[in-house]
Copies of this chain bind each other. A is one copy, B any other.
Amino acid sequence: MRDNGRILLAHGAGGRLTHELIESLFLRRFENKSLAALDDSAEIALPDSDPARAARIAFTTDGYVVQPIEFPGGDIGRIAVCGTVNDLAMLGARPLGLSAAMILEEGLEREILDRIVGSMAAAAREAKVDLVTGDTKVVERGAATRMYIVTSGVGLIPPGVSLSGRNARPGDAVLVSGTLGDHGVTVMNAREGLGFEGDLRSDAAPLNGMVENMLSETDGVHTLRDLTRGGLGTALNEIAGASGIRIDIDEAAIPVRSSVQAGCQMLGIDPLYVANEGKLVAFVEDRCAHAVLTAMRSHPLGRDAVRIGTVSAGEPSVVVHTPIGGARRLLMLDGDPLPRIC
């Protein structure tokens, strides 16, 4: 895909072009260890006279431009809060506080804004975190689509916890916390009026409670990543690259609702690249896989958790094994099959 020196929608899709943009533009300008790690959150050690005692905080930000702003199972406010809580949780951090910067379109109905803000407050209560600071800007009619929200979050990383996309190792089990693709297909259905019936609902939810359970069971968790923009396919490729590992996935083990499967077929997209807002992938030592799965399944948000694959040494790559014995490389996505899904 050629960009002729201009920004394309695909630069925001979370796939190959997003990575290329981040590397050529941001990593070149801002050289520091936290940013270069490209994890869901940055880790910052507080200065302390005793470095071993230094508190470590996680810090993250995400913009939300989803259209429509309300959809079954959630809205832009809910995913803004959940997404940021989840990014903190992926470093094992307990949230200390959230911020919200709202960019509102002139003429937005206050009633709708009130509903969205109420949804943010409800999601923050679920995650047991306070929204402690914010900002509101208004742009002229047409200069935004109803509203955009940017949430940021600060969390405390417990002593001894060290999770990163660079930490996955040969032998690790690959676990997912539940069905894939629900959020993205739900938003597409709502936006395009595709008319899919049934149980389509966004899975937007704060995962920090489930992650606390997982981490309290074992010290064998190496990597967590929430499966937002770009879906499982992008997350696995990022981790394979960052950790220098090969990941083999059993396609038949990946949980996808039949309604989501049907929606993906009609849209001509692969559920492995569709955004989720309440699902994660975990890389854990094989000996701990059972205990971590049990911890996930004992939490309402991890009822459908399963093992889907295994890590081995080898050229960084993701290989999917199909039920009929085939194998295919799962690549980073090039374009943007589902724009403005989060």
Tell me if A's interface is mostly helix, strand, loop or mixed.
mixed
Contact A34 B132 (CB under 8 A): yes
Contact B103 A65 (CB under 8 A): yes
Per-residue contact bits, chain A 12-25, to B (CB 8 Å; 1 contact, 0 not): 11000010011001
CB A182 to nearest CB in B, in angstroms, measures 21
Instruction: Apart from A22-B134, A61-B100, list 10 A-B contacts with CB within 8 A.
Output: A6-B109, A7-B110, A7-B113, A11-B136, A59-B99, A59-B133, A139-B148, A140-B339, A150-B152, A154-B154
Q: How many copies does the complex hold?
A: 2
What residues of B have a CB within 8 angstroms of the CB of A11 in the complex? 104, 136, 138
Interface residue A216 (Cβ < 8 Å from any Cβ of B): no
7 chain-A/chain-B pairs, Cβ below 8 angstroms: A6-B109, A12-B137, A18-B136, A30-B121, A63-B103, A64-B137, A139-B145
Question: Which A residues form the contact surface with B (CB < 8 A)?
Answer: 3, 5-13, 18, 21-22, 25-26, 29-30, 32, 34-35, 41-42, 44, 46-48, 55, 57, 59-65, 96-97, 99-111, 113-114, 117-118, 120-121, 124, 130-140, 142-145, 148, 150, 152, 154, 156, 339-340
What residues of B have a CB within 8 angstroms of the CB of A110 in the complex? 3, 5-7, 25
Given A106-B9, A132-B59, A133-B42, the answer on whether A117 and B25 have CB atoms closer than 8 Å is: yes
Given A101-B61, A104-B7, A133-B41, the answer on whether A143 and B144 have CB atoms closer than 8 Å is: yes
What residues of B have a CB within 8 angstroms of the CB of A142 in the complex? 142
CB A112 to nearest CB in B, in angstroms, measures 9
Q: Closest chain B residue to A35 by CB distance? A: B132
Partner of A44, one of B41, B96, B107, B117: B96
Contact A137 B63 (CB under 8 A): yes
Contact A135 B7 (CB under 8 A): no
> CA separation between A103 and B96, bound complex, in Å?
26
What residues of B have a CB within 8 angstroms of the CB of A65 in the complex? 103, 137, 139, 143
What residues of B have a CB within 8 angstroms of the CB of A101 in the complex? 61-63, 101, 150, 152
> CA separation between A173 and B97, bound complex, in Å?
34
Given A120-B29, A121-B29, A150-B61, the answer on whether A107 and B7 have CB atoms closer than 8 Å is: yes
Q: Closest chain B residue to A17 by CB distance? A: B138
> CA separation between A18 and B21, bound complex, in Å?
35
Contact A132 B42 (CB under 8 A): yes
> CA separation between A37 and B107, bound complex, in Å?
29
> CA separation between A100 and B120, bound complex, in Å?
21
> CA separation between A105 and B145, bound complex, in Å?
12
Contact A46 B41 (CB under 8 A): no
> CA separation between A97 and B45, bound complex, in Å?
10
